[in-house]
Amino acid sequence: MTIPANCRPSQGDAPAFPVTTLPARGGVGLKPEHFREILDTAPDVGFFEVHAENYMVDGGPFHYYLGRIRQRHPISIHGVGLSIGGEEPLDAAHLDRLAALLARYQPESFSEHLAWASHGGVYLNDLLPAPYHVGTLARVCAHIDHVQERLQRRMLLENPATYVEFAASTMAETDFIGEVVRRTGCGLLLDVNNVHVASVNHNRDPRAYIRALPLKAVGQIHLAGFARDIDAAGDPLLIDSHDAPVAQVVWDLYAFALDLLGPLPTLIERDGDIPVFPVLLAEAQRADRIMRQQLAATAPAEACA
Amino acid sequence: MNKTMTTASLALALGAALTVAASPAFAADSAADKEKCYGVALKGKNDCKAGAGTSCAGTSKTDYQGNAWTLVPKGTCEKTVSSTSPTGKGQLAEFKEKKA
Amino acid sequence: MSAQRHFAEAVLAAEPLCPPGLMAWNGSDPARRFAVYRNNVMVSLIDALADSYPVTQDLVGEEFFRAMARLFVRTHPPRSPVLALYGAGLAEFIEGFAPAAVLPYLADVARLEMLRVQAWHAADAAPLGLADFAALLENAPALAATGFDLHPSLAVLRSAHAVVSLWAAHQAQDGTPDLTAVDPALPESALVLRIGLDVEIRRIPCATAQFILHLQQGLAFGAAAQFALDAEPAFDLPAVLGMLICGGAIINLCQPRREPA
């Protein structure tokens, strides 16, 4: 049903170059705790990912280390502060900072969230949800057009982990994302943990959710750990906490997604209770193994030839 | 009586400073690989995680929600010579959290 | 009022609020679910402050610090998506915060810690080499009228309290500060400077602080030195210059931007 995003002309003249050139391997979120060890040991890892806003500072150790690590490894830059789902126009100064950062580090991939964080000049530092209706759709598409035009590249949009739904929504999240991809030509960052978290939180079938996405647009995958809570009715409420290893249920969903998608750059995200680097490397290598197994299972004829 | 900074005393001071800066002891101290000693003490403050737990869940990361202020500083300040000043006393009871 | 304004105000509200229009698949009260967002925002911003102000937190204890930080976040939420320097107004907030008035030095300790964070992230700049200074000596008559551009990370804090001693006592490797020898009521000045990749904080004499501040404000070398000597006859200019040169604090020679007042 879906048509490859880069085959469609977008409203602007978004160039048709690939949305990511990261290798189809496991990657690891880059944390300051691991800067030194990564430089000293040059680990064999597919790529490193950083949060854009952490490097929007003038100088000092963050740029020193990222500059050196970037010389040896592919990197992806993942924004958390653009507020693409916001009601207000994008923050032009922030977009300028982002453009400068991308020009400096030339990342293989740039992604942002289907969420908002800024309103009325205040930045709330969380990925906040928006209702899915034609008004939000028009705003999100306009914002993504603006971003792609300013950055002169295609971006990946990440599906959200949410805790509430809106009475005002008139579209399913998957239809909303499909329409955004169709209209803007952006790629999709499939966060498998977010799919699991949101599916539990909203009583959805995660596999049906994945099948309903514009899968040809997926350029990268995120995996992370979650925390458990309950809602007011006592039903499970999962929280996208990034402070634990990837759960088995998310690894299983990842394997399901790979059967549909084939191998893709896959990030292990960890933002809290940061373990020693080899623990994260091992999770990235587990993603590599699953990708190899999936390739072997889907291409038996070539394997025997 | 105040001394005056003459050109000669400025030059003398700079010369002395350069002698120190060029000394082998300083050169060894600032060897090229000194950065190996440095860790990065600060975290990146932007990330896309959620704090675990809701405000009702009673997790360790859930923060105090109360409205009336009842706390007093109870940290290492208690170990200083003059750990409290008399001026602060008596204000605590009157302090209430103001709404934004 | 827009839907996102309702949402944003409820996120930061002191009392647990829930914006209109939210729902859950099982018909449960959405306020409980919305509380996740309230908690995420508050905890992440308080954590950001705790990361920037570790000594301030140690001094008052975690419970007091986090409760105070919660009030600060609510009244001073971030204005930028870049959080590296978030919380620069905490010292001023502490000055007006009655429960912290028992610790008159707390605001200046917070000030020092924010200067340290700012120094970490300040722009990079190559220091002048020894040869550049040697060349300056060749033309001694011009020396007094030369200005010095200082490193972007450099800052001086003059305090009526023993800020450097208080801060330094909390840097003990074993994590248990020895404050028995610190009298918080003694005035101190601090030099903050990033050297290599690390930020150093040093206690400097008052006259040295004045000298460096004058240079930073664009006064010529000779005038800045004269001010310091007038303030303190024991002002040790060679030692101060040595410290600045060795620390890479002087990055350029320049025309003075200011006349002595």
Flag whether residue C241 sits within 8 Å of chain B, measured between CB atoms: yes
* Total count of domains within chain C: 2
Rounded to the nearest angstrom, the minimum Cα separation between C87 and chain B is: 12
pLDDT at A305 (0 to 100): 42
Burial of B95 (0-12, 13-18, 19+ CB in 10 A): middle
CATH number, domain of C143, equals 3.90.930
B93 in C contact zone (CB under 8 Å): no
pLDDT recorded at residue B82: 56
* Minimum Cα–Cα distance from A97: chain C residue: C82
Q: Which CATH class is domain A5-304?
A: alpha beta
Would residue C112 count as lying in a domain? no
Distance of CA A113 to CAs A117, A143, B26, B64, C21, Å?
10, 12, 50, 30, 22
Question: Is the CB of residue A116 less than 8 Å away from at least one CB of chain B?
Answer: no
Tokens of C110: 């917070």
Q: Which of C25, C20, C15, C16 is nearest to C5 (CA)?
A: C20
Chain-centroid distance of CA C156 in Å reads: 10
Chain A: nearest CA to C146, how far in angstroms? 27
How far apart CA C192 and CA C190 sit, in angstroms, is: 6
Average pLDDT over residues A289-301: 85
Task: Tell me which of B65 and C31 has the higher pLDDT.
Answer: C31
Same domain membership, residue C97 and residue C129: no
Whole-angstrom Cα Rg for chain B: 27
Tokens (6 digits) for C167: 């801060």
Percent of chain A with pLDDT over 90: 90
Structure tokens at C147: 């200005």
Q: Is the confidence at residue C149, as pLDDT, over 60? A: yes
Other beta carbons within 10 Å of A262: 15
Token pair 């905890």 is found at C43
Measured between CB atoms, does C126 come within 8 Å of chain B? Answer: no
Query: Closest approach of chain C CAs to the CA of B68, in angstroms?
Result: 11
**Residue C148 is assigned to a structural domain of this protein:** yes
| Same domain (yes/no): C239, C163 | yes
Q: Residue A53 has what pLDDT?
A: 97
If asked whether residues C135 and C249 sit together in one domain, one would say: yes
Q: B16-20, B60-64, C110-114, C180-184 — which is least confidently predicted?
A: B60-64
Q: Are C53 and B79 in contact (CB under 8 A)?
A: no
Q: What are phi and psi of A268, to 5 degrees?
A: -90, 115
CA-CA distances (angstroms) from residue A63 to A50, A52, A53? 11, 12, 12
**Is the backbone of residue C176 left (phi > 0), alpha (psi -120 to 50) or beta?**
beta
DSSP line for C70-85: HHHHHHS--SSS--TT
- CA A257 from chain center: how many Å? 15
DSSP A20: B
- Domain range enclosing C24: 1-103
C-alpha–C-alpha distance, residues C176 and C169, integer Å: 8
Non-local CB neighbours of C134 within 8 Å, separated by 6+ positions: B18
Query: Which residues on C lie below 8 Å from A94 (Cβ)?
Result: 80-82
Over 60: is that where the pLDDT of A201 sits? Answer: yes
Of B40, B46, B49, the CB nearest to A61: B40
- Beta bridge partners of residue A301, listed in sequence order: none
C86 and C194 inside one domain: no
Place B21 in a pLDDT band, splitting at 50, 70 and 90: confident
Q: Which one has a higher pLDDT value, B90 or A127?
A: A127
Cβ contact B41:A44 at 8 Å:
no
- What's the CA dihedral at C9, C15, C16, C19 to 10 degrees? -30
Phi-psi category of B71—alpha, beta or left, where left has phi over 0 and alpha has psi -120 to 50?
beta
Give contacts of B49 with chain A, Cβ < 8 Å. Answer: 224, 240-243, 269, 271-272
Nearest to C51 among B43, B54, B56 (CB): B43
Q: Is the pLDDT of residue B98 over 70?
A: no
Q: Could you tell me the pLDDT band of residue C178, with boundaries at 50, 70 and 90?
A: confident
Report domain extents, chain B: 1-31
- Where does the pLDDT of residue A304 fall: very low under 50, low under 70, confident under 90, or very high at 90 and above? very low
CB of B48 less than 8 A from some CB of C: no
Identify the band that residue C173 occupies on the pLDDT scale cut at 50, 70 and 90.
confident
In this structure, of A19-23, A212-216, A285-289, the range with the lowest mean pLDDT score is A19-23
Instruction: List C-alpha distances in Å: A132 to A4, A173, C11, C19, C29.
Output: 23, 7, 20, 17, 21
Which residues make Cβ contacts (< 8 Å) with residue A172, sequence separation at least 6? Answer: A132, A212
Q: Please report the pLDDT score of residue A61 as a whole number.
A: 95
Specify the pairing of strand A187-191 against strand A227-230: unpaired
Nearest to C13 by CA among B90, B65, A86, A250: B65
Chain B residue at shortest CA distance from C138: B11
- State the Cα–Cα distance between residues C13 and B81, nearest whole angstrom: 39
How far is A55 from A191, CA to CA, in rounded Å?
Answer: 23
Contacts of C78 in chain A (CB under 8 A): 122-125
Task: Note whether C4 contacts A163, CB cutoff 8 Å.
Answer: no
Bridging pattern class, strands C250-254 and C198-204: unpaired
Q: Is the Cβ pair A36, B39 closer than 8 Å?
A: yes
Subunits adjacent to chain B (3 or more Cβ pairs under 8 Å)? A, C
Q: Does B40 touch chain C (CB under 8 A)?
A: yes
* Beta-carbon pairs below 8 A across chains B and C: 225
The helix (run of H) or strand (run of E) holding residue A187 is strand A187-191
Q: Which residue of A has its CA nearest to B40?
A: A32
Taking CB atoms and an 8 Å limit, are B48 and A32 in contact across chains?
no
Q: What is the mean pLDDT of residues B68-72?
A: 84
**Residue A74 clears pLDDT 90, i.e. is over it:** yes
Residues 144-183 of C with CB under 8 A from B: 144, 166, 169-170, 177, 179-180, 182-183
What's the mean pLDDT when you consider all of chain A? 93
- Low-confidence winner among A80-89, A103-112, A175-184, B21-30 (lowest mean pLDDT): B21-30
Chain C's closest residue to A204, CA to CA, is C25
In this model, does residue C203 exceed pLDDT 70?
yes
Strand A48-51 to A26-29 pairing: parallel
CA-based end-to-end distance of chain C: 53
Average pLDDT over residues A250-278: 97
- Tell me, yes or no, whether C58 and C166 share the same domain: no
Q: Which of C103, C137, C166 is the last residue of a domain?
A: C103
From chain C, the residues in CB contact with B35 under 8 A are 196-197
If one counts every other C-beta atom within 10 angstroms of the C-beta of residue A72, the result is: 12
User: A139: which 2 tokens?
Assistant: 């705003």
A163 and C21 within 8 Å at the Cβ level: the answer is no
Assess whether pLDDT exceeds 90 at residue A5. Answer: no
Interface test with C, best of B3, B6, B18 (most C CBs within 10 A): B18
- Residue A81 C-alpha, separation from nearest chain C C-alpha, in angstroms: 5
Contacts of C8 in chain A (CB under 8 A): 119-120, 122, 124
Computed over every residue of chain C, the mean pLDDT equals 94
For residues C97 and C129, state if they share a domain: no
- The residue among C50, C33, C217, B53 whose CA lies nearest residue A164 is C33
Would you say residue C117 lies in a domain? no
Among residues A147, A139, A109, which one has the least CA distance to residue A265?
A109
Contacts of A91 in chain C (CB under 8 A): 81
Interchain proximity B3–C84, CB inside 8 Å: no
Whole-number Å distance between alpha carbons of C259 and C26:
73
User: How many contacts does A have with C, using Cβ atoms within 8 A?
Assistant: 150
Considering only CB atoms, which chain B residues are within 8 Å of C169? 76
- Report yes or no: B46 at the A interface, CB cutoff 8 Å: yes
> How far apart, in Å, are the Cα atoms of C6 and each of A61, A219, B22, C78, C79?
39, 35, 63, 18, 18
Q: Provide the pLDDT confidence category of residue A18 given band limits of 50, 70 and 90.
A: confident
Per-residue model confidence (pLDDT) at position B89: 35
Query: Would you state the pLDDT for residue B47?
Result: 83
Cβ partners under 8 Å of residue C156, min gap 6: C189, C190, C191, C192, C204, C209, C212, C213, C216
Contact A54 B54 (CB under 8 A): no
Separation CA A151–CA A145 (nearest Å): 10
Do C175 and C61 share a structural domain? no
Instruction: Print burial letters for C142-151: b (CB count within 10 Å at least 16), e (below 16).
Output: ebbebbbbbb
- Rounded to a whole number of angstroms, the distance from the CA of A8 to the nearest CA of chain B is 31
Residue C254 lies in a domain: yes
Question: Are residues C83 and C206 located together in one domain of the fold?
Answer: no
Contact between A53 and C37 using a beta-carbon 8 Å cutoff: no
